């Protein structure tokens, strides 16, 4: 099993190019099931979850051609389409459930495994199922599989999601594109990745219109046309490198991402003392020698502070002068990195969904164990700023969502290598 060896402390300087967004690419890839003609996608990240989704599409009958060098993927429809999404492909990746909507919309039936992914909380799929049921889908669950069908075609309806859900919003938008009549979805998630999915579908001829902050209207069409589309940059990777600069008294030029999309995170970094200059698709960020504490960060749905950057910001606040609090309001099991940060010397106490961080930590290198995708990168950040050698095990979690992380970090001054 592969692991990282990190020798710290390091100061990070130079420039970083942000990869394509994993969280935008996955629903867009699922949406290609709606098409009869070829779809070309550019700027997909070279990460494990993307290849898992491509394998899932191939198992359903899509033909995939990959140009890794140019980061271009072409997806063709074969004549033999299957509607069975196997557990073996869906178990490692939450986004596997996103094939349910397009399969039901296009082929009127699906047998889909209940999904897997990181063990950070329950994340039930009932919002997906109940909403699609309102559009005419019938289903039952047996032996871990959702058996779904629709008699004639999905029919548009007024749907109010009882809870803001990224996955359910994506599944409904995709399915509604080929549904009969008008669908209005209220209480939607509005993450930039969802807007990217909408833009992709609109370019292909879907009739999608945002008619309120969290309301979207979709009028079904008979088919979508062949297109080429450039996926947005990765918001969480961008935020991670911003934290890395602030944490190490670094000086980074972060390219290939629109700073307006991480306004909340950049404002918090400014409060910690980081100096930030913004250009169109570039962030210049310098870390201060004194990191100021933040009284209270609360994770919440976009445009508030993202749960996916909670672990990285916790590392930063460990080095701050004074006490900080983080409340995790999205997932109930997302403090698994706390025990590992304590191994490096962090002073963190947790009570229910709150983490109390004492600050002024002088991290000392240690052997560590990754528990999930976002916790993994937090441990890498902590190791980069720790005194001495750290070993980070189970980095397969990290490979699901970060492209060439050790190469990008090495280029800007981190002493990190991957070993088997």
Q: 3-19+233-419: what CATH class? A: alpha beta
Q: Is the pLDDT of residue 252 over 50?
A: yes
242 is catalytic: no
Q: Do domains 3-19+233-419 and 22-230 have the same CATH topology?
A: yes
The reported pLDDT for the residue numbered 205 is: 98
Integer angstrom CA distances of residue 332 from 121, 339, 378? 5, 16, 18
d(Cα 84, Cα 103) in Å, to the nearest integer? 9
Residue 69 pLDDT exceeds 90: no
* Per-chain mean pLDDT for the chain: 94
Q: What is the pLDDT of residues 305-319, one digit of tens each?
A: 999 999 999 999 999
**Under 8 Å CB-to-CB from 390, ≥6 apart: which residues?**
4, 5, 6, 8, 344, 365, 366, 367, 368, 379, 382, 383
Rounded to a whole number, what is the largest CA-CA distance in the chain?
A: 64
Fold observed for domain 22-230: UDP-n-acetylglucosamine1-carboxyvinyl-transferase; Chain (3.65.10)
Structural domain boundaries in the chain: 3-19+233-419, 22-230
Catalytic position from the list 10, 118, 177, 318: 118
CA nearest 314: which of 357, 262, 254, 273? 357
Backbone angles phi, psi at 358, to 5 degrees: -75, -25
Confidence category of residue 334, pLDDT binned at 50, 70, 90: confident
Q: What are the tens digits of pLDDT across the range 212-239?
A: 999 999 999 999 999 999 999 999 999 9
Task: Indicate yes or no: pTM above 0.85.
Answer: yes
pLDDT at 78: 84
Instruction: Say whether pLDDT at 119 is over 80.
Output: no
């Amino acid at each position: 099993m592969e692991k990282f060896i990190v020798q710290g402390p390091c100061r990070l300087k130079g420039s970083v190019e942000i990869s394509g967004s994993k969280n935008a690419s996955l629903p867009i890839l699922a949406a290609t099931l709606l098409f009869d003609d070829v779809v070309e996608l550019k700027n997909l990240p070279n990460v494990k979850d993307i290849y898992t989704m491509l394998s899932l599409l191939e198992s359903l009958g899509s033909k995939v051609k990959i140009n890794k060098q140019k980061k271009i993927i072409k997806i063709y429809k074969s004549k033999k389409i299957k509607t069975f999404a196997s557990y073996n492909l869906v178990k490692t990746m939450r986004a596997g459930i996103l094939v349910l909507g397009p399969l039901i919309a296009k082929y009127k039936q699906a047998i889909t495994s209940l999904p897997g992914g990181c063990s950070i909380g329950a994340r039930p799929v009932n919002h997906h199922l109940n909403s699609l049921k309102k559009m005419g889908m019938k289903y039952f669950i047996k032996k871990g599989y959702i058996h779904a069908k629709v008699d004639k075609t999905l029919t548009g309806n007024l749907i109010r999601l009882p809870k803001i859900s990224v996955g359910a919003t994506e599944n409904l938008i995709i399915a509604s594109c080929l549904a009969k009549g008008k669908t209005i979805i209220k209480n939607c998630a509005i993450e930039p990745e969802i807007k990217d999915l909408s833009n992709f579908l609109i370019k292909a001829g879907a009739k999608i219109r945002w008619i309120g902050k969290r309301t979207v209207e979709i009028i079904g069409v008979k088919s979508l046309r062949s297109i080429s589309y450039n996926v947005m940059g990765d918001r969480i990777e961008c935020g991670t490198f911003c934290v890395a600069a602030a944490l190490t008294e670094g000086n980074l030029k972060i390219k290939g991402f629109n700073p307006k999309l991480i306004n909340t995170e950049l404002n918090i970094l400014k409060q910690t003392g980081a100096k930030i200059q913004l250009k169109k698709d570039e962030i210049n960020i310098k870390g201060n020698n004194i990191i100021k504490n933040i009284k209270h960060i609360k994770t919440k749905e976009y445009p508030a502070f993202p749960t996916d950057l909670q672990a990285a910001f916790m590392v930063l606040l460990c080095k701050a002068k004074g006490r900080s609090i983080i409340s995790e309001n999205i997932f109930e099991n997302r403090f698994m990195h706390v025990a590992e940060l304590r191994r490096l010397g962090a002073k963190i106490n947790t009570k229910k969904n709150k983490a109390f961080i004492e600050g002024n930590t002088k991290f000392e290198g240690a052997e560590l164990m990754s528990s999930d995708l976002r916790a993994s990168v937090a441990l890498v950040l902590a190791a980069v700023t720790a005194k001495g050698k750290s070993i980070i095990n189970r980095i397969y979690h990290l490979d699901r969502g970060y492209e060439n992380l050790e190469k990008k970090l090495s280029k800007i001054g981190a002493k990190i290598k991957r070993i088997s």
